[in-house]
Structures are given as structure tokens and as C-alpha cells.
Amino acid sequence: MSSRRSTSVSARSTNDSGAHFLVNSTIARQLVRSCAVGCSGTVVELGAGAGAITTHLAATGARVLAVERDPELLRRLRRRFDRERCVSVIGTDIGRFRLPRTPFVVVASIPYGISSMTCRLLFGSVPTALRCASLLVEWGFAKRLTEPVPRTAELAWWNARFTIELCRRVPPRSFSPSPTVWSAQLVARRNTEITGNSARALRVLLLTAYTEPTEPARAVVRAAAPGLTPHHFLRAAGVDPSSPARRLTPQQWSSVARALADDSRLHWPALPRELGRRWR
């Protein structure tokens, strides 16, 4: 499923984008509640469609930035929310949208075809003002994203910086037209401790660990911080130095990164500018 539209959207445009639109208002309300969207905050909706979620966001009184690229849907959104002063309808591609620099939350039913790109934008970017994201995604994608030991360094990076929970399964009948697979609601909350030096140290650790997954944790730390005693940092982080790198969770790597970041002898390379878009 590349994306999901309300039943009232014409068959022509539904077929054009392959979209599936939320028709279950209980799920829309749960999405909004999970991020505790309040009247003083800013909420971004990526892929607003015909406004099935936007209408619940608008009811909170928050400032809503509703992003959509389909011209017909944009016209419908603008007509529907014309009188809602708190809703701004933004006609652009998600990949080109600049996230706010002041604290915000994201509530979205994201198109399956661009799930990775969207999560990269949300969870990879440094620095970020994103506090919480409540997302509907494809079930298999949600499972991969929330594995205790993620399969790639990029997934580990997202999971170290955000606590990502799979909240519930969402059946195909919740959308029109119905997709062939189940969906899931994810809620991601930012971990504020991974910033600055600890974020730089974490990136080096994850790159090293995922390049040499069978090496023990002590070898990863030795390679990342040559000349220092790896056991000291690993024990400080509560990690067994002999554990293979591939068994450590993002949370354990975060603890090691924080222990390393406290050592003033170490200098960590700056994070690449486009880290949120391309994780290397």
C-alpha cells in the first residue's frame, strides 16, 4: 500500500495515488490522544488526505500543519478547513517539507511506499524539535522498526533516540479502499539524553558495531575510542564486555555512548548534515 482517503473521494483520484483512507474515527481519536496534542502545541500531519485525522487534530485547538501533495485532495482540504484558523494546509511533498524548529508532534497515517523515507526524516534528523510521533504504518514495517535488536545501524539509531512502541494492530477494514495487509499504530517519544557529544559517540559506536556484529562489545569500544580501557566504559553502562555486538540493544549502546561522552579526552566527529535523510 503506497498510501491510504475518505470514501467520499472520487474513484479517479483514489486509483491515481493508490491511497487508503482512514474510515474509523475511533482510531483517528486514538492517534491524536497518544501524542497528547494540546491547544498550545504544534502538530504536523504528513499526508492529510481528505482530512479524516485533520478534523480530530483541529478539534484540539493546536496549530495544525496539514501536508498533502495531491492537487485534488489539497482543494478538498482547503475547502473543508477554510474557516479553521488553526489549520494550515501545505501543498508539498513530504520529502521537501521542512520540519518546525520549535517543539512539535506528528500524527499521521503515512503512505506505505515512503515509510522509510518518512521515518528517516522524523527519527534520523539531528537536531530535532520532534517530541512525539503517533503513526499508522504497515504491520510488517512496524514489527521491523520495533525489534529489540534492530537489523541495521540506522534502525538502531532511531530506536536509541526515540522510544518506539507498537501500540495496536489495525485491521484492513479501517481504511477505504481496504489494503491487503494489516496496519499498526506506533508511538515514538524522544529520549532527551541523546544529544551533542553522546549522539556523536553513539553514531560511531553503531557504525562500528553493525560493521563487525560478531565482535565482542569491548572490541567495538576499543575501535571507537582507541587507547582507552573499554571495560571501564562498558561496566559503567552495565554492559558485559564479552557480549557480541549483535546482541546489544540500542538502549545499551546509548548508555555506553553517554559514558564515553563524559570523558573529556575523547573527541567525536561531527554528525553529517544530511544524517536525517541518509544514514551512514
Ligand X SMILES: C[S@@+](CC[C@H](N)C(=O)[O-])C[C@H]1O[C@@H](n2cnc3c(N)ncnc32)[C@H](O)[C@@H]1O
Rounded to 10°, the helix 217-224/196-211 angle is 120
276 annotated to a ligand binding site: no
Furthest CA-CA distance within the chain: 65
Using the rule CB under 6 A, is 253 a contact of ligand X?
Answer: no
240 annotated to a ligand binding site: no
Angle (nearest 5°) at CA 178 between 176 and 183:
110
* 9 within 8 A of 50, measured Cβ to Cβ: yes
Q: How many residues does the chain have?
A: 280
Query: Which helix (DSSP H) or strand (DSSP E) does residue 175 occupy?
Result: strand 175-176
Q: How far is the CB of 279 from ligand X (least distance, A)?
A: 19
Using the rule CB under 6 A, is 161 a contact of ligand X?
Answer: no
Concatenated DSSP letters of 18-50: T--EE--HHHHHHHHHHTT--TTSEEEEES-TT
Nearer to ligand X, 53 or 239 (CB): 53
> Which segment (68-76, 162-170, 182-190, 236-244) binds ligand X by CB under 6 A?
68-76
Using the rule CB under 6 A, is 53 a contact of ligand X?
Answer: yes
Q: Which residues from 93-122 bind ligand X, rule CB under 6 A? A: 93-95, 109, 111, 114
> Which segment (61-69, 79-87, 144-152, 249-257) binds ligand X by CB under 6 A?
61-69
Using the rule CB under 6 A, is 176 a contact of ligand X?
Answer: no
Using the rule CB under 6 A, is 49 a contact of ligand X?
Answer: yes
Q: What is the 3-state secondary structure (H, E, C) of 46-65?
A: ECCCCCCCHHHHHHCCCEEE
109 annotated to a ligand binding site: yes
The correct pick among 44, 48, 122, 239 for binding ligand X (CB under 6 A) is 48
Residue count, binding to ligand X (CB under 6 A): 24
* 170 within 8 A of 18, measured Cβ to Cβ: no
Q: Which residues bind ligand X (CB under 6 A)?
A: 3-5, 17, 19-22, 47-49, 52-53, 67-70, 73, 93-95, 109, 111, 114
Q: Which residue ranges make up the annotated binding site for S-adenosyl-L-methionine?
A: 20, 22, 47, 68, 93, 109
